[in-house]
Structure 1
Amino acid sequence: MARYIVRFMKDILGENGRQAEICQSSLEIEAANSRDATEIAKQKFCQMERLNEWSLHADRVQVAETDLHT
């Protein structure tokens, strides 16, 4: 299994009128592949934020494999 860092990203409009990207949450997930990691992270994010749908608090998901393997 591989380890992935899954970030939930949101675009916001800052006080200066410029668009900025912020990370709503970052999770380390162990999964067979990036697709599985994304789905597991979505479920965990919804549980943490008490949501039915992850996209209510984030615009997109970024997934990166870490160098650590189990």
Structure 2
Amino acid sequence: MSDRLMSAEDLARVTGKKTSNKQAEWFLEEFGLRVVRCGDGSPVMTWATFQALMDKRAGILSNGQAPNLTVS
């Protein structure tokens, strides 16, 4: 994934929200994350960070492997 910042269009597409405040609320609700914001209030998110959040949610470790879910 890229360290490129998500554009305003990317943020709207991913969150389904049009306004910066609603986008920030979405990240808080979905990931428990208070996003960093630009001076204009828009969220700052890289694609790499977003992918890491999605991987964590899916239970994928940072090395790309799924955790061992075997119960003893």
Task: Name the TM tier (shorter chain).
Answer: 0.3 to 0.5
The higher-RCO structure (CA 8 Å, 6+ apart) is 1
Structure with higher helix content: 2
TM-score (norm 1): 0.32
Q: Which structure's residues are more often strand, by fraction?
A: 1
Structure index of larger Rg: 2
What TM-score results when the alignment is normalised by the length of structure 2? Answer: 0.31
